[in-house]
């Protein structure tokens, strides 16, 4: 029954959002079924569609895990966006500065830069909350804007190729490139940027599961999230847990930098994130703050993102903006779950549980 | 230095502060009633798009302005129903609305105007560059008066501080919160409308570019009080005005431009500092973010 409930409400939220989206498509004069067929058909076609879908899913798994870890500690990290920008810049900085090192040295260094960059930017709101009690939501919003401004300053004034009209850094060294999966999987063309970071994302999901549910530290973190005063009474330092959770959360978000810089563009490109940090909130919520759920919902959101492109091109009126409309609606329905719980309770299908 | 501190700078400060003041005062009503409003950004976008689209269609900016207000209120109604009736997480709902409103205007303009994300240009004679500014500055004393000198304001503040006590005293908690959130939508809607049919002459994709969040920052910087909040908006508007005026005019001793990014950072750094309690303490309404469930 518990598993059913865990699966049922996210599923209803998704279906409800697609119905709302379908009505909107109908109103503006297109065929919803045709539109959705275009969307899913292209995103799930082998090899190009699936390749890109998995590529789009990679950053969302990282940010979904990031938001999830913070959530489990009772914190809402809406700063993944800023954390991943800082991390991507740090990754690119290492890749540029030490461009001539051997890959055996350079790639691990870039990984560390991504994790540290995101971790530090995530730790700041954690420390501010633990030390001064200031709310992490506001601080992470502010730190998002700070990150964007700071990184854009460094790119514009220090790391841009002279005369380049595009806001992007110079290229990182060859030694920092990580392999695209097309190299290993027959039939998957190498122009698809799906790379080893996808595997890393899956590994991270496993590690997050082990950490949270199979270690003492994870237990303490979750205990803090469930009931901070009981945790404090049981000898857990809530302040320490807040800082740890935000640091891990930031580090996970930071790994988006590995996918973007080492596996995709091989440089820092200003404004590369397509709202990954914010979509991560949706991914975590829809995935019920569980690593398996996060992977599944990251895949769903990636399908939407990839499928938006042919929808844009091949329907009369619908633009790819339908994707954000669907995403927003899904989160809204997931958040207001009680909206569905009411009727279910009335029909006697589900006992009303405390939200 | 002297050439940038001119009448033009004052005018530009007023223009840039106007949308912030409207949105921040809106946020004030919502948050003082106990509902977190990070959806200000989305409400502004709704107002900006609707005002531009309706003004273009009808040729009347007044109809457009009212439509923008209504659009802001409609989005606020979604936020209110989710947060108050269905007790959804207020921050998550706000985030959902912001994502939704990033897509929705572009989706609709793609359908109606066959453009990707912007409305057609509105002729100059159909713009209202002054009316929203007047509304914004009239709203300052009005908000203060309503919040502190009327029974409505007292009730609104009481449900944000101590809903149980307010309820026991006979105040309808949910109704007051609906009022607070809807008011925030109206004001943020006007703020958004000003961007599209006052300052500019069309709606462009994501044209608020974070102003809803700066308004939120001003609200916190102003410690959830109307006058201080407006002063914070003027300060943030001023930093933006200075950063625009300075570009290419003021140089560092080394002869380089002063990076505009550093001036952009000022509001955000100030907010973090204030929230950490370095400049007096900024205490949110006590019941902020907590859904109220009547005891049975």
**Which two structure tokens, joined as six digits, stand for B167?**
């309820």
To the nearest whole angstrom, how far is the Cα of B151 from the nearest Cα of chain A?
30
What is the Cα–Cα distance from A211 to B19, expressed in whole angstroms? 46
Classify residue B256 as exposed, middle or buried by CB count within 10 Å of its CB (0-12, 13-18, 19+).
exposed
pLDDT, tens digit, 9 for 90 and up, residues B214-223:
899 899 888 8
What is the Cα–Cα distance from B242 to B212, expressed in whole angstroms? 20
Can you tell me the mean pLDDT for B274-289? 77
Band (pLDDT 50/70/90 cuts) for residue B241 is confident
Question: Using the beta-carbon criterion (under 8 Å), do A132 and B275 form an inter-chain contact?
Answer: yes
Q: Mind giving me the DSSP string for chain B?
A: -GGGSSHHHHHHHHHHHHHHHHHHHHHHHHHHTT---TTHHHHHHHHHHHHHHHHHHHS-HHHHHHHHHHHHHHHHHHHHIIIIIS---HHHHHHHHHHHHHHHHHHHHHHHSSSSS-PPPPPGGG--SSHHHHHHHHHHHHHHHHHHHSHHHHHHHHHHH-HHHHHHTT--HHHHHHHHHHHHHHHHHHHHHHIIIIISSS--TTTTTTHHHHHHHHHHHTTT-HHHHHHHHHHHHHHHHHHHHHTTTSB-TTSPBPPHHHHHTHHHHHHHHHHTTSSS-----TTTT-------
To the nearest whole angstrom, how far is the Cα of B268 from the nearest Cα of chain A?
5
Residues of B in contact with A285 (CB under 8 A): 92
Segment among A225-239, B2-16, B56-70, B198-212 with least mean pLDDT:
B2-16
Is the minimum CB–CB distance between A142 and chain B shorter than 8 Å?
yes
What is the Cα–Cα distance from A22 to A35, expressed in whole angstroms? 9
Question: Using the beta-carbon criterion (under 8 Å), do B95 and A331 form an inter-chain contact?
Answer: yes
Question: Using the beta-carbon criterion (under 8 Å), do B100 and A325 form an inter-chain contact?
Answer: yes
Residues of B in contact with A282 (CB under 8 A): 96, 99
Question: Using the beta-carbon criterion (under 8 Å), do A327 and B99 form an inter-chain contact?
Answer: yes
Q: What is the pLDDT of residue A350?
A: 43
- Dihedral-angle region of residue B118 (phi above 0 means left; psi in -120 to 50 means alpha; beta otherwise): beta
Closest CA to B199 of B18, B10, B4: B18
Question: Using the beta-carbon criterion (under 8 Å), do B269 and A279 form an inter-chain contact?
Answer: no
Q: What is the pLDDT of residue A348?
A: 46
Q: What is the pLDDT of residue A351?
A: 42
β-strand partners of B257? B251
Question: Using the beta-carbon criterion (under 8 Å), do A336 and B213 form an inter-chain contact?
Answer: no
What is the Cα–Cα distance from B185 to B178, expressed in whole angstroms? 11
Ordered mean pLDDT values, 10 residues apiece, chain A (355 residues): 77 93 92 92 90 97 97 93 97 95 95 98 95 88 93 90 88 92 90 95 98 96 92 92 97 97 94 90 91 96 91 85 92 83 55 37
The pTM for the full model equals: 0.91
To the nearest whole angstrom, how far is the Cα of A258 from the nearest Cα of chain B?
25
Q: What is the pLDDT of residue B162?
A: 93
Q: What is the pLDDT of residue A336?
A: 83
Substitution target from B35, B49, B261, B262 for chain A, most A beta carbons within 10 A: B261
Taking CA–CA distances from A354, the nearest residue in chain B reads B87
Residues of B in contact with A152 (CB under 8 A): 261
Question: Using the beta-carbon criterion (under 8 Å), do B265 and A139 form an inter-chain contact?
Answer: no
pLDDT, tens digit, 9 for 90 and up, residues B134-186:
999 999 999 999 999 999 999 999 999 999 999 999 999 999 999 999 999 99
β-strand partners of A168? A269
To the nearest whole angstrom, how far is the Cα of A142 from the nearest Cα of chain B?
5
Q: Is the ipTM of this complex over 0.90?
A: no
């Amino acid at each position: 029954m518990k598993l059913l409930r865990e699966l049922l409400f996210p599923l209803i939220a998704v279906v409800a959002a697609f119905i709302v989206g379908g009505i909107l498509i109908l109103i503006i004069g297109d065929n919803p079924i045709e539109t959705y067929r275009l969307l899913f058909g292209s995103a799930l076609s082998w090899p190009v569609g699936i390749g890109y879908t998995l590529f789009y899913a990679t950053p969302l798994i990282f940010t979904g895990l990031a938001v999830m870890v913070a959530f489990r500690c009772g914190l809402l990290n809406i700063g993944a966006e800023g954390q991943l920008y800082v991390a991507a810049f740090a990754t690119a900085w290492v890749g540029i500065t030490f461009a001539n090192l051997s890959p055996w040295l350079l790639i691990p260094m870039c990984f560390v830069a991504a994790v540290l960059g995101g971790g530090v930017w995530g730790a700041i709101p954690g420390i501010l909350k633990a030390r001064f009690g200031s709310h992490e939501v506001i601080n992470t919003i502010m730190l998002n804007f700070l990150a964007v401004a700071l990184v854009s300053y460094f790119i514009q004034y220090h790391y841009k190729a002279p005369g380049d009209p595009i806001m992007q850094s110079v290229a990182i060294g060859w030694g920092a490139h990580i392999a695209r999966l097309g190299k290993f999987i027959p039939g998957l063309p190498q122009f698809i940027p799906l790379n080893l970071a996808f595997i890393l994302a899956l590994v991270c999901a496993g590690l997050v599961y082990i950490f949270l549910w199979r270690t003492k530290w994870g237990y303490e973190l979750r205990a803090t999230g469930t009931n901070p005063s009981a945790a404090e009474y049981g000898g857990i330092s809530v302040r320490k847990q807040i800082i740890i959770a935000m640091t891990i959360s930031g580090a996970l978000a930071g790994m988006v930098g590995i996918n973007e810089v080492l596996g995709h563009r091989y440089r820092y490109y200003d404004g590369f994130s397509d709202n990954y940090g914010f979509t991560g909130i949706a991914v975590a919520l829809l995935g019920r703050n569980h690593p398996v759920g996060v992977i599944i919902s990251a895949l769903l959101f990636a399908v939407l993102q990839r499928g938006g492109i042919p929808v844009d091109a091949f329907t009369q009126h619908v633009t790819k903006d339908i994707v954000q409309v669907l995403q927003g609606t899904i989160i809204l329905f997931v958040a207001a779950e009680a909206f569905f719980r009411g009727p279910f309770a009335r029909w006697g299908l589900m006992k009303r549980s405390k939200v | 230095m002297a050439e940038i501190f001119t009448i033009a700078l004052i005018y530009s400060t007023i223009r840039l502060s106007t949308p912030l003041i409207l949105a921040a005062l809106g946020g004030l009503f919502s948050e003082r009633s106990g509902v977190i409003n990070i959806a200000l950004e989305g409400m502004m976008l709704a107002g900006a798009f609707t005002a531009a689209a309706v003004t273009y269609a009808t040729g009347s900016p007044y109809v457009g302005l009212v439509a923008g207000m209504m659009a802001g209120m409609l989005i606020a109604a979604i936020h209110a129903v989710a947060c108050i009736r269905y007790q959804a997480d207020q921050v998550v709902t706000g985030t959902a609305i912001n994502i939704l409103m990033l897509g929705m205007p572009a989706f609709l303009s793609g359908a109606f105007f066959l453009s990707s994300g912007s409305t057609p240009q509105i002729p100059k004679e159909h713009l209202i560059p002054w009316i929203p500014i007047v509304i914004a500055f009239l709203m300052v004393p009005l908000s203060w008066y309503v919040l502190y000198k009327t029974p409505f304001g007292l009730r609104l503040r009481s449900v944000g501080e101590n809903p149980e006590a307010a309820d026991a005293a006979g105040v309808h908690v949910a109704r007051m919160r609906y009022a607070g959130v809807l008011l925030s939508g109206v004001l943020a809607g006007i703020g958004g409308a000003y961007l599209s049919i006052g300052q500019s002459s069309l709606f462009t994709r994501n044209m608020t570019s974070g102003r809803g969040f700066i308004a939120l920052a001003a609200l916190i910087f102003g410690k959830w009080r109307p006058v201080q909040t407006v002063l914070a908006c003027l300060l943030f508007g001023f930093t933006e005005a200075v950063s625009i005026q300075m570009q290419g005019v003021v140089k560092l001793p080394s002869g380089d431009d002063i990076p505009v990014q550093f001036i952009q950072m000022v509001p955000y750094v100030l907010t973090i500092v204030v929230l950490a309690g370095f400049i007096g303490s900024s205490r949110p309404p006590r019941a902020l973010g907590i859904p109220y469930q009547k005891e049975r």
